[in-house]
Structure 1
C-alpha cells in the first residue's frame, strides 16, 4: 500500500506536470467543446483555476478564461463587482469564444463564485444556447454563511443584515453581499423557476469539508431533474479537501474531466488534497 508521503508527492507531481502552452489560444483545435473556466471571488484567470486549466489543456482541451468583476483600481482582483454586472462580462466572453473558435457550444467550469456564475449566466444573460456541459465546483447556489460569519449579520435581524450588506458594497465587494444569505443574486437565482436551462447538463461538485461555502453540500446542490450532485468524497472518501483546495485537487480535476468527457463512471486514482475543516 502506498504511503501517505508517496500519495502526497504523486498529487503534487500530477498538479505541476502540465503544459503552459495553448491557454486562450483561439486557433486551438480539439474534438471536445472549448472549455471556459471561471475563477472564484478575489481571484483572476492567472490563479485559482489556472493549474486545472493547464492540466485540461495538457489533456487535449482548448481552454479559455478571463478575469471578470474587477475594478480598474485593482485589475487582478476579480469577482468583486455585483454578480449581475459580472455575469454580463462572462456572457460576452462566451460569445467571443464561440465567434472566434467557430464552435457552436462551450463547456463551462467554475469554482466558488465562478461556479455560481456558471449557473447564473445561462439563466439570465441569454447565452444558454451556447453552453453544453457545466461543472460547478463548490457554488454558493443557495447562499453561504461564509464559515458562519453571516450569522453575526442577523444578530439584530434584517436591519443588521442590510447594514452589513451596505458595508460590503461600500468597501468594494458587492459580490460578497450578493452571495450571502438573502443576497440579491442568490434570491434571483432561486426565484422559483428552474436554475438549469434547457440543453445544459449540470454537475455540482462539493466537498464535505468545505469551510467557506457553508453548510457544505446544502449550500451548493441543485435539486432539479437531470442535475448530478456529487461530493468529492462519494468517489474519494479519504480526501479531506477544503474550499480553496478544491481548485487544486486532482480528484476534483478528474471529476471535472468526467463531466467534460461525459464519462461519469470513469475510475481514477484518488489522492489526498489540501485539508479543509
Structure 2
C-alpha cells in the first residue's frame, strides 16, 4: 500500500490523530475550543497557515474521504506511461532511489509495445503498483523475469495527484503514484488494458497487482467492465478488505464512527487512496457488497506474515464466489526463511516463482525457497 519507511508513516498518522484529539479536548484557556467536526478542525488548521513561496496558501480540505463512486473532494488524478527501461534491481531500496531520480522509468522487459503474445502465453501481463509507489520501484525485479519467461509485460503509473489535490504528502516526492481516488485509478487501468489489448491483439490479459494494485484490479473487474477481459489475477499484499496499518487505520475509523471526522481531516496529509483503504471505509462496503470475486476469473492471493501493512493475513485473502477459483497463499508456508515484508515481497524469489506458477503451472511448476531479508529484500541475498 504505502512506500517509504513504515515507522515514519505510522508515526505521522499516530501523532496526527493524537494532536487532533488533544486539540479537540483541551481545557478553556489552553487553546481555542473546537467542535468535533471536520469543518472546525479545518478552520483551526487554516488559521495558522502562511503563504508559500509562490504566494499560494495551503488549506485543509473539509472532506470525509469516504466517497466510493467518484473523485469528490479532489481534482481527481492522472496516469502516465512508464517509459525508458531502467536497470534490473534485486532489492527495493536501490530501486526506490532510482525511481526518485527516474520517476517514470519502466522496469526491464516492460512496455515493449511491439511484443506479440506466443501460443504458450497468449495473454499479456499487466502489472499494477501500490500506493506511494511506481511501476519501476515495484516491479524492477519481477518484470524482467516475466519477460524472460516469454510473457509480454505492460505497466503504467496510475493515480497521480498533487498535494493540493488531496494527494497527500507522498505526492511531494518524485514518482509517488497511486495516491488519488481509487475509482479514478480504476478507470485509468481500464483505459490502459484497452491499449494493451489493441496493441497485442489479445482478448484477455492477466494482472499482477501489489498492495493497492490488487484492489484497483478487483474494482476494475467489478465496475469497469474488466470481468471478461481478465483471465487471472495474482495479488501480493493486496488491500482487498482494507488495512489497519497496525491498528492506526482502525482507530481512525472508530473515531470517525464516533462522530469526529478525523479520516476526512487527514485526507490532505495521507492522501485520498490511503483514507479509502482504511478498514471499514465505504469504498470496501461498495467493492465487496456482492462478494470478493467475479465469475470466470482465477485468483491467486499471496500474503506475508511479516507484512507491516496488510495484517492479519485474512484481511488480504479472498473468498471464492460462483465460477471463480481462489488460491490463498501465505508466503512463508513451506519456506520460513523468506521473511519478506510489504515492499520486499516484490523482490522475493519465492514470490516471483509463485507468480510464474500462477500464470502457467505447467511451465513453472516448482516454487523457489530462499532467504529474503525483511526491509532490505535483495532477491534472495543481501
RMSD over aligned CA atoms reads 2.4
Distance 2:320 2:363 in 1: 18
Residue 29 of structure 1 corresponds to which residue in structure 2? 116
Residue 256 of structure 1 corresponds to which residue in structure 2? 355
Residue 55 of structure 2 corresponds to which residue in structure 1? none
> What is the CA deviation profile of residues 202-224 of structure 1, one whole-angstrom value per residue up to 9, with x for unaligned ones?
11011112111122x11111121
Give how far 1:127 is off.
1.8
2:306 to 209, 214, 238: 209
Unpaired runs of 5+ in structure 1? 1-12
- Paired residues in the alignment total 259
Give how far 1:143 is off.
1.0
Distance 1:112 1:90 in 2: 15
Cα 1:103–1:155 change in 2 (3 A) is closer
Give yes or no for contact 1:14–1:250 (8 Å, CA) kept in 2.
no
Give how far 1:275 is off.
1.8
> What is the CA deviation profile of residues 211-260 of structure 1, one whole-angstrom value per residue up to 9, with x for unaligned ones?
11122x11111121521111111242331111111111110010000011
Distance 2:304 2:114 in 1: 36
Residue 210 of structure 2 corresponds to which residue in structure 1? 111
Q: Normalised by the size of structure 1, how large is the TM-score? A: 0.85
1:122 to 188, 197, 221: 221
Q: Normalised by the size of structure 2, how large is the TM-score? A: 0.63
Residue 24 of structure 2 corresponds to which residue in structure 1? none
Distance 2:329 2:178 in 1: 25
Give how far 1:163 is off.
2.3
Q: Where in structure 2 are the equivalents of 1:1-150 lying within 5 Å?
A: 15=90, 22-31=109-118, 32=121, 33-71=123-161, 74=171, 76-150=175-249
Please identify runs of 4+ aligned residues in structure 1 that moved more than 6 A: none
Q: Do residues 198 (structure 1) and 295 (structure 2) align? A: yes
Give yes or no for contact 1:15–1:55 (8 Å, CA) kept in 2.
no
Distance 1:88 1:57 in 2: 26
Give how far 1:157 is off.
5.6
Distance 2:270 2:333 in 1: 37
Q: Do residues 158 (structure 1) and 252 (structure 2) align? A: no
Cα 1:154–1:269 change in 2 (3 A) is closer
Cα 1:183–1:34 change in 2 (3 A) is same
Give how far 1:190 is off.
1.7
Unpaired runs of 5+ in structure 2? 1-87, 92-106, 164-170, 376-382
Give how far 1:264 is off.
10
Give how far 1:14 is off.
9.3
Distance 1:52 1:190 in 2: 29
> What is the CA deviation profile of residues 168-198 of structure 1, one whole-angstrom value per residue up to 9, with x for unaligned ones?
322361110111011232221221x133222
Cα 1:61–1:40 change in 2 (3 A) is same
Residue 228 of structure 1 corresponds to which residue in structure 2? 327
Give yes or no for contact 2:253–2:263 (8 Å, CA) kept in 1.
no
Give how far 1:154 is off.
4.7
Secondary structure of 1:234's match? Answer: coil
Cα 1:265–1:97 change in 2 (3 A) is closer
Residue 287 of structure 2 corresponds to which residue in structure 1? 189
Distance 1:91 1:76 in 2: 21
